[in-house]
Structure 1
């Protein structure tokens, strides 16, 4: 999906629950979060990488689990990916 096709899905119903969930996921992976900043169509995360886990595995886990969380909690009307 290109930048022009991104939908602004981060609203009041999402803006606190999703960053808190993402922060927990990073913590569970041993990657302390420094900053999470929500934009209308994406989230920025600054974290310390656990040297025992590859960056690819961390991102795959956090993106997958956060998408599942949004869909399972019905935080938005359509399916989130």
Structure 2
């Protein structure tokens, strides 16, 4: 794309279907590497990734050659397929529909990288749902509680 210059930094957050705690420490690093590969192979640049058993955060520099929704469809679809193909969970693994996406300026990148890398420590104080709703509020994103990541009913 000649003469197109951008600086787009996005953090995406998405949850395991029904927020089940299925991302196991024994294979989460392999999952992270797989997702990094999907993002980078699409021409974007992964800056940070981390997950808890029931959700995942990924922060990346995004090129304007693809829509965010198309990228997230690929990330979630291909990583689900990888998890299922490698029989890493009993039954079928699926990500919950939807995701949160939040944009940041260049000056905020170090703070976001550190925030993502310290998820384990952060979640000793807050649940995923508390964290997610705080992010929505901070970014002034209007939402309907019925569509926020749900637990198994």
TM score, norm. by length of structure 1:
0.89
**Count of paired positions:** 79
In the TM superposition, residue 40 of structure 1 has moved relative to its aligned partner by 1.5
Equivalence map 1:1-81=2 (5 Å): 5-81=18-94
In the TM superposition, residue 14 of structure 1 has moved relative to its aligned partner by 2.4
- Is the Cα–Cα contact under 8 Å of residues 13 and 75 in structure 1 kept in the other structure? no
In the TM superposition, residue 17 of structure 1 has moved relative to its aligned partner by 1.1
Q: Which runs of 5+ in 1 are unaligned?
A: none
In the TM superposition, residue 57 of structure 1 has moved relative to its aligned partner by 0.6
In the TM superposition, residue 29 of structure 1 has moved relative to its aligned partner by 0.4
Secondary structure of 1:38's aligned partner: strand
Flag the structure with more relative contact order, 1 or 2, with Cα contacts below 8 A and sequence separation at least 6: 2
CA distance in 2, matches of 1:25, 1:79: 21
Q: Looking at secondary structure, tell me which structure has more strand per residue.
A: 2
In the TM superposition, residue 33 of structure 1 has moved relative to its aligned partner by 0.3
C-alpha RMSD over aligned residues: 1.7
Q: Which runs of 5+ in 2 are unaligned?
A: 1-14, 95-153
Show the counterpart of 2:123: none
- Is the Cα–Cα contact under 8 Å of residues 9 and 40 in structure 1 kept in the other structure? yes
1:27-81 residue CA offsets vs partner (Å, 9 max, x unmatched): 1001110000111101100011121101111001111000000000111112001
Larger radius of gyration: 2
